[in-house]
A = this chain, B = another copy of it.
Amino acid sequence: MGLDDRKLAVLRAIVEDYVSTQEPVGSKALVERHQLGVSPATVRNDMAVLEEEGYIRQPHTSAGRVPTDRGYRLFVDRLSRVKPLSPAERRAIERFLVGAVDLDDVVHRTVRLLAQLTRQVAVVQYPSLARSSVRHLELVPISTTRLMLVMIADTGRVEQRLVELPGPVPADDVTDLRRLVNEKLAGARLSETPPLVQALVEEAPAELRPAMTTLSTVLLETLVERHEERIALAGTANLTRGGLLDFQGSLRPILEALEEEVVLLKLIGETEPSTTRVLIGDENEFDNLRAASVVSTGYGPGATIVGGLGVLGPTRMDYPGTIATVRAVARYVGELLAQN
């Protein structure tokens, strides 16, 4: 069980070499490229141990070694430090994000930036409604029996829904409805609204009761039930780097997974505050992604988290660099959101 320092150094060297060359690495090449201070034969013995412990494996009997998912895990947990970003990268991030004009714009720019910097597939979750508060509710009459409900959240998200009223409602009543709804709900966290909506119906004056009842149904749907999470994606073309060597030749399962919002949300949503999560290969719960790794983190104004973002790439990825970039982008986006 004892993995002494040199064995760990060998593992680190194998990971680093394999990530950069994408070819199985042998004992001789290893001593040449790293100052290990021992001979190839010694390294071979260490490799044999590492292989027995499941950290590396041989694709073929007469080939060099390749890290296993377990090997990457050890590397990420104990053998690597987060690389500091280069000044060029810092500048790129700032330049890319200033001038964003609304939330859509911020998210779009962020996801492109992330894809470009990491050269991988980037995923950004829009600020989750579940973690937002109501800033304002607007009711816009479309006809006498139809309203457009527009909800503006403090995170900048705007959701709209059509409300079919049970009967004609005069303009004055719409004004009353709007006032009542905002008095009760403005400022409330979305997750806390159901009882408030219930109260709205009960407290509504008799003449507004039917309209309010219908409205409350749509409100509940919009605010809570229909957990309308949104996702932006970019950089799928990066999957084709490394010409079909990664992902064992088929992009199919990856592309399929990327089309499922549910899957993406599971991947990048719901991280514990300020932690960066790294899922390597088969640690992933989706079979389609067992050849991929995901680096994700939460973001939000200040210390609060309102959504997640991250990247997906081959297990053979530059973890330290990717982790650094994902964190930095998340921090900048948080600052940007804090300004609004």
Binding site for B on A (CB under 8 A): 101-102, 135-136, 138, 140, 142, 148, 150, 152, 158, 160-162, 226, 234-237, 239-240, 244, 250-252, 255-256, 258-259, 340
Contact = CB atoms under 8 A, between A and B. Distances in A.
A158 B161 contact: no
Contact of A240 (B135, B148, B237, B250): B250
A142 B339 CA distance: 13
A255 B136 CA distance: 39
A208 B117 CA distance: 45
Contact of A138 (B140, B250, B256): B140
A340 B240 CA distance: 42
A50 to B, nearest CB: 35
A259 B101 CA distance: 21
Copies of this chain, complex-wide, total 2
Given A138-B140, A150-B152, A162 B236 contact: no
Contacts of A101: 161-162, 226
A158 B150 contact: yes
A152 B146 CA distance: 14
Given A237-B256, A240-B251, A256-B237, A340 B162 contact: yes
Contacts of A250: 240
Interface residues of A, dominant DSSP: mixed
Q: When A and B form their complex, which 10 residue pairs have the shortest distance between CB atoms, in order from nearest?
A: A237-B255, A240-B252, A237-B256, A158-B160, A136-B140, A236-B255, A138-B138, A240-B251, A102-B161, A150-B150
Contact of A148 (B152, B162, B251): B152
A236 B237 contact: no
A114 to B, nearest CB: 13
Given A140-B152, A142-B135, A160 B236 contact: no
Contact of A237 (B150, B237, B244, B252): B252
A265 B329 CA distance: 29
Given A102-B162, A148-B152, A237-B259, 6 more contacts: A135-B142, A152-B160, A158-B160, A236-B259, A237-B256, A244-B244
Nearest to A252: B240
14 contacts: A101-B161, A138-B140, A140-B152, A148-B152, A152-B160, A158-B158, A162-B340, A234-B259, A236-B255, A239-B255, A240-B250, A240-B251, A240-B252, A240-B255
